[in-house]
Amino acid sequence: MSSIFGFVLYLLASLACNVDGENILFLHAFGSRSHRISMMPLANALVSRGHNITYIAAVPAENPNPKMVDIIPKDFTAFIKNTVHTLFDARIRASKQGPIPMTKFAKLFAHSCSVLLTSSEFQAWLQTSPKIDLVVMDLIPDCGLGIAHKLNAKAIVYSTLPMYSRTVETVKIPPEALTPYGDHVYNAGRMTFFDKIKQVLMPLLTFYYEYVHAPAFELILQQGLNITNMPTLHDLYNNVSVVFMAGNYITELPRSLPPMFVAVPGLHLQAKSNALPKEIEEFIENEDGFVYISFGTVVVAHHLPIHIQNVFMDTIRAFPRIQFLWRWDGELPKNMPDNLYMSKWFPQQDVLGHPKIRAFITQAGRPSLQEALVNAVPMITLPFHGDQDFNAMRLDEIGVSIPLEISEITEQQLQSALTRALYDTEFRKNVKKMSNIFTDLPMKPIDTAVWWTEYVLRHEDVSYLKPMGRNLTWSYFPPVIGIGIKYLQILAVLVIVALTAWMIYIT
């Protein structure tokens, strides 16, 4: 009897610790399917805690939650699909075309927000005057912050990418000159003098954005949300309560961050792997294991130039005792090796968690690399766009992957990398070590994310988590002040030299 009474008290105590069911909006204003995959577990966990979740995105959930309201605007979906596949076409990187200018990205983000806000589905929802207590948004937060302001809601940013310069600068954290951001390609552990100069000047990009692109974005928000007194984006950034980082000191570079930044690496990771479909299981049934090849949800592998496809085919033939699985969207090539199995879809986490997997050839997207790392699978990385170059360099730096360049790849390079991934005992041992470190956490990331989400909901004001510099303009930031002081020093020296020369001349 006493044990039952104790159990009842435990349940009551647990319920007392919960917050009341709140209304939370999850929002993707730009991004591919992988972004939704990363955030969906948090939404599901909050639903199970009794919260009411509305999810607005261009991509529907793979496994819809019947207790969640999904809003998928058709025009927005078409725009994102067309934009993503055009921007991130495999042929762009393979043909050595340069990176996409940030000015183009800024215009795309603004246009994406405009398409979303003017869609009939979003406007119909907005006209119901929804009660939203919190908005959880990803990637570039500008659109979501406008919606949060309109609905008088709190805001959490879920950063699915590495720590980008804008992520840091929008919440006014003084940058660290010796720690590169995710949008800064660097040589692992060896920043040059010019790398450091570029890092110091990063805040000027925020200045450029706020004074050149922000006014147009503010107009889009004002018109799309019917906001009478539109605040500046600079002011909207102050509304961010917490930033969730989908990585930690293993996949990110260590840096000094205020309490509002919370690491939640691998929210989407499965607790255990499931059995593979029978046909796949039978194909990989051999003593020497298999290698998995996938370039993510955006890059279309059959768009790669034929000579690059042939590099892969010939390399696969060179390892006849190893089976290969390749995620392939198009028509199957005619020169397929016997030890290659191609499919439009694989249960990736189950594949990477299979006991016979030996290596993973990947584009180095954040979700994929975490799935490989948690299962201690050696990687060969071939980045195509966005944060993938940074990810590939970081993985190389910690010794769990071998980076290659898709535009310059040769059969010899790929065979050499694959041989090392398969047979280098020390390399594979280090992958296992880093996997253990990556997963050695005080609590599960999903529990951390839920706790901090409800923390923001419980407390009216969480400004004490934020850096003091959030109310400063760009000109007060240490790098800018430092540059100004240097210029003043140079000017002072020039004035002294000029005065000295003039005094000598007149005497």
pLDDT at 372: 97
d(CA 339, CA 319): 9
CATH code matching the domain that covers 19-265+445-470, chosen among 3.30.300.160, 3.40.50.2000, 3.20.20.70, 3.30.70.260: 3.40.50.2000
Q: Return the CATH fold of 278-439.
A: Rossmann fold (3.40.50)
Using CA atoms of 137, 142, 147, 148 in order, give the dihedral in degrees to the nearest 10: 70
Q: In terms of Cα–Cα distance, which of 171, 199, 169, 172 is closest to 185?
A: 199
Nearest one of 136, 118, 175 to 42, comparing CA atoms:
136
Q: Which residue has the higher pLDDT, 304 or 160?
A: 304
Give Cα separations from 476 to 262, 275, 484 (angstroms): 26, 56, 10
The pLDDT value given to residue 369: 95
CA distance 138 to 136: 7
Which DSSP state fits 212? I
Q: How far apart are CA 334 and CA 317, in angstroms?
A: 14
- Eight-class DSSP state of 463: G
- Share the mean pLDDT of the chain: 85
Please give the pLDDT value at position 163. Answer: 73
Assign 248 to helix, strand or coil: coil
Task: Output the six-digit token pair for 469.
Answer: 């510099």
Confidence band (pLDDT; 50, 70, 90) for 81?
confident
Query: In sequence order, which residues have a C-beta less than 8 Å from that of residue 121 and are 6 or more positions away?
Result: 71, 72, 73, 74, 76
- What pLDDT score was predicted for residue 6? 44
For residue 231, the model assigns a pLDDT of 93
| 392 contacts 361 by C-beta, under 8 angstroms | no
What values do phi and psi take at 278, rounded to 5?
-55, -45
Q: pLDDT digit string (tens) for 235-276?
A: 888 889 999 998 888 988 888 888 999 999 999 998 888 999
Q: What is the pLDDT of residue 158?
A: 92
Q: Report pLDDT for 414.
A: 98
DSSP H or E segment with residue 389: helix 388-397
**CB of 57 closer than 8 Å to CB of 158:** no
- Identify whether the C-beta of residue 184 lies closer than 8 Å to the C-beta of residue 198: yes
Q: What helix, strand, coil percent values describe the chain, rounded to 5?
A: 50, 10, 40
Q: 485: burial class by Cβ within 10 Å (0-12, 13-18, 19+)?
A: exposed
The phi and psi torsions of 79 (rounded to 5 degrees) equal -65, -50
Residues 25-37: tens digit of each pLDDT: 999 988 778 888 8
The radius of gyration computed from the CA coordinates of the chain, to the nearest angstrom, equals 25
DSSP string covering 273-331, please?
PPPPPHHHHHHT-STT-EEEEE-TTT--GGGS-HHHHHHHHHHHHT-TTSEEEEE--SP
Residue 10 has pLDDT above 70, yes or no: no
* Side chain identity at residue 370, one-letter code: Q
Give the SS3 label for residue 243: strand
Residue 224 has pLDDT above 50, yes or no: yes
Residue 51 predicted with pLDDT over 90: yes
Element housing 151 (H / E): none
Q: What SS3 state is found at 69? A: strand
Indicate whether 99 pLDDT > 90: no
Give the pLDDT band of residue 297 (cuts 50, 70, 90).
confident
- Residue 503's pLDDT is 75
Are 451 and 169 in contact, with CB atoms under 8 Å apart?
no
Strands 340-343 and 323-327: parallel
User: Alpha-carbon distance 230 to 112, whole Å?
Assistant: 19
Dump the DSSP string for 163-211.
Answer: --HHHHHHTTPPPPTTS--TTS---TT---HHHHHHHHTTHHHHHHIII
Share of the chain above pLDDT 90, in %: 54
Stretch among 35-44, 67-76, 101-110, 129-138 having the lowest mean pLDDT: 101-110
- Residue 144 banded pLDDT, cuts 50, 70, 90: very high
Q: In the numeric block, which tokens belong to residue 223?
A: 């018109």
Q: Scan for tokens 């000047």, then name that residue.
A: 201
Q: Give the angle subtended at the CA of 383 by the CAs of 331 and 280, to the nearest 5°.
A: 45
Pairwise pLDDT comparison (222 vs 10), residue with the higher score: 222
Scanning the structure block, which residue is given the tokens 């949060």?
148
Among residues 156, 154, 170, 165, the alpha carbon closest in space to that of 233 is found at 170
pLDDT at 175 over 80: no
Bigger pLDDT: 367 or 168?
367
Q: What is the pLDDT of residues 407-458, one digit of tens each?
A: 999 999 999 999 999 999 999 999 999 999 999 999 999 999 999 999 999 9
Per-residue pLDDT at 173 exceeds 50: yes
CA distance linking residue 286 with residue 293, whole number of Å? 18
Is pLDDT above 60 for 477?
no
With a cut of 50, say whether residue 13 has pLDDT above it. no
pTM of the model: 0.84
